[in-house]
Amino acid sequence: APDADAQPSLQGRTVVVTAGGTREPLDPVRYLGNRSSGKQGFALAEQAAAAGAQVHLVAGITEAEPPTGHARISVERIETAEELQEAVRRRSAGADALIMAAAVADFRPADYAQAKIKKTDDGQNPVITLERNPDILADLVEHRRSSGEGPPVIVGFAAETGGGDDDPMKLAQQKLQRKGCDLLVLNQVGENLVFGRDETEIHVLASAAAQSALGESEPVSWRGTKAEAAGVVVARTAQ
Ligand code: CTP
Ligand code: CA
C-alpha cells in the first residue's frame, strides 16, 4: 500500500479549489447565507500549492481572508451559487482536479425584490419562496461522463452530523454514489469535536475506480489540524 504520509507532487498541475459559503440575495440589503468559515478550503488551496500545483481558489463568503501573496494561488470571489457554478465551469476546463469544499446553498429565494422589502400595516407577514440551486458538483460529474471533458479528479465534501439511526459513514457512502465524484471527504461535525479549534476529523471515501487507483479499499481517516487534513486530501488528489 502507498505510504499515507508521502506527499506526491502536483508540479505542473492545475487545481481548482472552492471555499466558503454562498450568499443568496433576497432584496438589495438582505440574503440567505450559512456559517462556513472557508478555513478548510483555504488549507486545501495552500496544501495543493505547497505540493507544486497552480491553484485557482474560488472563494465565497468567508470568515477569514483568503491566502494572499502566494505565487501559485489566484483568488476569485463569488457570492451566489450560480456565480460559483459559472466560475467552476470556467476554471475547470483544462484543470487536473476540482476540490469542492464550498458550502453551496441548496436553495435561493425564488424572487429577488428590486427594492427593500418593507413592513406593511395589513398584518401580513412576507412569505419567502425558495427554489433549488444547481448542483454544481453533480452537474460537473455528469458533464464529464457525457462529454469526456473535465477534471480527471473531482473531490466532494460532506459535513454530516448523523443522528438517530443514520451513521455518518453510511450517509457519506450514499452521497459518494449519488454525486458520482471520485473522492468524498466526510467531515464529522458535532459530537466531541471542539468548536473554535483548528481541529477536524475527516474520512476520505473513494469511488470504486479511485480505490483501485489509490490501492486503498477502505476509507482513510484523519484527526488533526485542518492543514494536516488538507494534506491527506491533497495527497490522494495527486495520485
Ligand atoms: N454541492 C454543490 N452544489 C450544490 C450543493 C452541494 O456542488 N448545490 C457540493 C458541495 O460543495 C459538496 C458536495 O456537493 O462538495 C456535498 O454537499 P452537501 O451539501 O453535503 O450535499 P447535498 O447533495 O446538498 O445533500 P444534503 O441534502 O445533505 O445537503
Ligand atoms: Ca447541501
Tell whether the model's pLDDT for residue 164 goes beyond 80: no
What pLDDT does residue 159 have? 87
What pLDDT does residue 195 have? 53
Locate the ligand 1 atom nearest the alpha carbon of residue 138 and give its number. Answer: 7
Q: In terms of Cα–Cα distance, which of 146, 150, 64 is closest to 100?
A: 150
- Separation between Cα atoms, residue 219 and residue 183, nearest integer Å: 10
What pLDDT does residue 192 have? 56
33 Cα distance to chain centroid: 15
Ligand nearest to the CA of 136: 1
Average pLDDT of the chain is: 92
Please report which confidence band the pLDDT of residue 198 belongs to, taking 50, 70 and 90 as the band edges.
confident
Tell whether the model's pLDDT for residue 77 goes beyond 90: yes
Active-site positions? 34
Tell whether the model's pLDDT for residue 128 goes beyond 50: yes
CA 88 / ligand 1 centre spacing (Å): 14
CA 107 / ligand 2 centre spacing (Å): 9
- Concatenating the DSSP letter of every residue in 187-201 gives EE-STTPPTTSSEEE
Give the least confident one: 3-7, 66-70, 226-230: 3-7
pTM of the model: 0.94
Tell whether the model's pLDDT for residue 37 goes beyond 80: yes
3-state secondary structure of 165: coil
- Separation between Cα atoms, residue 208 and residue 183, nearest integer Å: 10
For residues 185 and 212, is the Cβ–Cβ distance under 8 A?
Answer: no
What pLDDT does residue 189 have? 73
Q: In terms of Cα–Cα distance, which of 155, 152, 140, 143 is closest to 44?
A: 155
Tell whether the model's pLDDT for residue 1 goes beyond 50: no
Tell whether the model's pLDDT for residue 162 goes beyond 80: no
What residue owns the CA closest to ligand 1's atom 20? 158
Mean pLDDT for the stretch of residues 164-180: 91
Pairs from 118-122 (Cβ < 8 Å, separation ≥ 24): none
What pLDDT does residue 166 have? 80
Burial bucket for residue 218 (CB in 10 Å: 0-12, 13-18, 19+): exposed
Q: DSSP character for 124?
A: P
- Cell readout for 112 is 429577488
ipTM entry: 0.99
Mean pLDDT for the stretch of residues 197-216: 92
Mean pLDDT for the stretch of residues 216-234: 94
Q: Which amino acid is at 226?
A: K
Q: DSSP character for 11?
A: T
Query: Which residues, 6 or more positions from 227, have their beta carbon under 8 angstroms from its beta carbon?
Result: 43, 46, 47, 198
Tell whether the model's pLDDT for residue 233 goes beyond 50: yes
What residue owns the CA closest to ligand 1's atom 19? 158
